[in-house]
Structures are given as structure tokens and as C-alpha cells.
Amino acid sequence: MDSHWRVARRRARRLYTLTYAALSGVAVGHGTIIMPGAKVSRELGGDIRIGARSTVHPGAMLLSYGGFIRLGVNCSVNPFSVLYGHGGLMVGDNVRIAAHCVVIPANHGTALDGGPIASQPLSKRGIRIGNDVWLGAGVRVLDGAVIGDGCVVAAGAVVRGELESCGIYGGVPARLLGWRKPNASYLKGLIYGGNPAETVEALAAS
């Protein structure tokens, strides 16, 4: 009975997704789900395309704002994350965007003699996020950022500039903390600033 319910629920969500995408002018791939409560909008112009088997969770917002958003295959955008399209946002395959992330490929002008900030022109350099990237909860990605394939970005980090592939980054602004390796042993001593007494294993045993 439980498996039948899951199948029925999946079909209902897919039907909702196809209807929502058609009404919004958004392209979605096979098996992609836009959950009720998410907002995917190109009402101010632009283009949004979401690859196959991706999920946009309730409360998440994808807004093109005259630019474009490309979300790859098997991606997830978790609750209350905000992705804008202004200068172009390219997201690769197998990307995990945790809750409350903000990705904005634009920036306000701040010239002191340029009038109110709200009326100054935007710069729009765009953002690129590679394949197999994990953005932890509350990450901010600023205009012009390039995140290489395989990167892990710690919760609360602010990303600007270029992050090298397979790096582990954290902080404000984000800096390199380490590198991904073939097994999980590299996490020991890295968590909580590298103090072995404060690793996950030590805390669990205390």
C-alpha cells in the first residue's frame, strides 16, 4: 500500500510540474519535479531550463529577471533558496543547493556621485557552478563567481571569484580549507577548524 501511495504521489507531483511549467513558460526535463510552494518565474523576461530528474523544493525561488537560469541533470534546490538569472546562471549536473542559499548574478552600482543605489545600473557578470557541487545551508554566491567541478562549500560561506575544482571552501569570504579525497578520512580534523578534539567522532563519544 505504501509503495502504491508513493507512486501516486510522484505522478501527482509530476502532473503539477508539467502544468506549472507550461503556464510559466519554463522548460523541464524528464522526471523533474517542481514542488507546490516553489516559485519558478520568468515574468520579467528571460529563460529558465531545468534538467532531467531535478527537484525544486517548497519555498525555493528561481527568478530569471531578464537573464537565464540553466539547472543541470539530477540537481536539487532546497527550501527557501533563491536563484536569480540577471547576468546568467549556469549550474551543472548532480549539484546540491541546500536550504537558504542565495545565488545572484548581478550587483548594484555604488558610485557616491551616481545617485541613489536603487537607481544605479546593475553589473551582470554571471555565475557558473560546475558539476557535482554541494553548497551548504545559507551559502551566498556573488556575481562573477565560478565554482569548479566537485567543490564543497561550507554552510554560511560567501563565494566570490573562482573556486578550484574538488576544493573544500568555507568562511567569509570563502577560502580553501582542504581537498576532496577518495575516502571520508580527510574529514577528520577538518571539521570545527581542524582541532582533533572537536571532530564529529570525539563529540559523539563525549
Q: Is the pLDDT of residue 55 over 90?
A: yes
Which CATH number covers residue 13? Answer: 2.160.10.10
Q: Is the pLDDT of residue 14 over 50?
A: yes
73: containing domain: 2-205
Q: 3 vs 71, which has greater pLDDT? A: 71
Return the half-sphere exposure (C-beta side, CA atoms, 13 A cut-off) of residue 66: 6
pLDDT digits (tens, 9 = 90+) for 97-149: 999 999 999 989 888 888 888 888 888 899 999 999 999 999 999 999 999 99
Mean pLDDT (the chain) is 88
Distance, C-alpha 108 to centroid of its chain: 21
* The predicted structure's pLDDT at residue 60: 98
Look at the chain and report how many structural domains it folds into. 1
The top-scoring range by mean pLDDT among 12-26, 88-102, 114-128, 176-190 is: 88-102
What H or E segment, with its residue span, contains residue 9? Answer: helix 2-24
Task: Confirm if 176 and 148 have CB atoms less than 8 A apart.
Answer: no
